[in-house]
Amino acid sequence: MNLPKEKIDIQPLLTTKKILARALKEGTSSELEEMGGVQAFEMAYELSWKTLKKVLMSKGVEVYSPKETFRKAAAEGLIREFEVGGLKALGKYPYHFYAYGSRVKGTARKFSDLDLCYQEEIPLSVISQLREEFAESNLPFEVELVNWKHMRAKFREAIKQNLTPIT
């Protein structure tokens, strides 16, 4: 049985994209404006993955989470793999970093940070430089950078399966 294809309205996504671009270009001069920028990012993220999900479903590709949606959309050629501008700092160093937590699992809330960890011995000067670059970046969320060895064993075990390499 062939069901009629649902028309996918992308206007809300385009509108949110314009608002987010403006927020990033103009910056923020108050906490209220900063909160608005964060909200615009979160709306753009939600609308992006949900719109991509509809497109994939119309092609017969089933997806359930944001992470899975973005991966399959890239595999289908709908999007290119991309690098978040603020995370480019990681590529300047010969170390391996991993993301974990709510942003990886697709359960991030309004003020959730991006959790990153590293397992190698990295000089404190490099860690300080990275933290400074994250603080000065245009990322609409905080970045938490943690040494794997300083985490409790139970916590390491809990997040181990969701570690996502940042390249």
The residues assigned a catalytic role are 113, 115
| Nearest residue to 85 (alpha-carbon basis) of 163, 157, 32, 140 | 140
| Three-class SS state of 165 | strand
Among 162, 142, 139, 143, which residue's Cα sits nearest to residue 68?
A: 162
For residues 37 and 24, the answer to whether their CB atoms sit within 8 Å is: yes
Q: 111 by DSSP, 3-state: which? A: coil
Reading the block at residue 25, the tokens are: 């270009």
